[in-house]
Amino acid sequence: MLYMHDLWVNWFEGEENGYNVCRFHEWRKEDGIELVDQIPLILVSEEMFNFIENDLQDLPASLLQDIHRKTYIKKNQERHTVEYAAVVTDGKDVIVFDTIGYTLPVKKSRLIPRQERLVYEMVQGKQPEIYLIEESVTKEHHILSLEPDKMSGLTRRERQLKQLLMMVLDQLKHSDHPEEIRYWLTEWDPGQYSNIKQFSNGEAWDRLYEGTCHGWSKMHEELCKKMVKGQPFFETIWHGENERVSEHMKSQN
């Protein structure tokens, strides 16, 4: 088995979509970067890589058996054993996972570019290990877990705010005040005001979702800002993302 040493990881926990496991250039100084002393490296099929990167289902028992207690991290100069963790690649991309003792990839990380290049060098000319995916449940995307193409090209901040907007829209759909849906659709697309009055709540919500679920723009940002106002939980997320931007701008000056 191949092993990597002195690996920098930035764990993203409970992420079923690979687009939320941020690449190195999107890591933030407040992220909890950890040093892994030793960890197995496995070349897997493209299907298995996608299963690990873009899902949160049980991993094959044979894979878990192969990596059992072969990862070590150092904390306060002491070496600690990790139950199930590995670096996996399909030869085109790389991801690290840690099950934190469970059987699914709860924590995921990307690598820094130098270590990513080393992965490709180490697996060059090797055949992928074959692991069978047992009883897989077909993954379904929805408003709180958008398809990758709807997040494509967005920055970490934009993805966070888009997820926030989708959470607010989902709450709006199931709220006790469905008449608000037409109001927010008018905010999004004021030119359609006369038509919007004729829409049912369901039609209005569908138009609002279809209009906002692609890309990210100043219009998306303005709508999100207005919709979270007065909702403490959502406002906290909004302010958190925007404070980071302000701090980044100050550091650049």
Does position 248 have pLDDT exceeding 80, yes or no? no
- Residue 180 forms part of a structural domain: yes
- Residue 137 forms part of a structural domain: no
Tell me what pLDDT residue 78 has: 86
Q: How far apart are alpha carbons 98 and 23 in whole angstroms?
A: 17
- 69, 57 Cβ separation under 8 angstroms: no
Non-local (6+) Cβ contacts of 64 within 8 A are 84, 99, 103
- 53, 18 Cβ separation under 8 angstroms: yes
Tell me what pLDDT residue 43 has: 98
Q: How far apart are alpha carbons 72 and 39 in whole angstroms?
A: 7
Same domain, 12 and 106: yes
The first and second tokens of residue 240, run together, are: 């958190």
Same domain, 58 and 163: no
Same domain, 97 and 26: yes
- Residue 92 forms part of a structural domain: yes
Task: Count structural domains, the chain.
Answer: 2
Tell me what pLDDT residue 245 has: 62
Q: Name the DSSP letter for residue 55.
A: -
- Residue 236 forms part of a structural domain: yes
Same domain, 115 and 19: yes
Write out the residue range of the structural domain in which residue 97 sits: 2-123
What pTM does this model have?
0.90
Does position 250 have pLDDT exceeding 70, yes or no? no
Same domain, 117 and 68: yes
Dihedral sign, Cα of residue 69, residue 71, residue 74, residue 78: positive
pLDDT digits (tens, 9 = 90+) for 164-184: 999 999 999 998 887 899 999
Tell me what pLDDT residue 225 has: 96
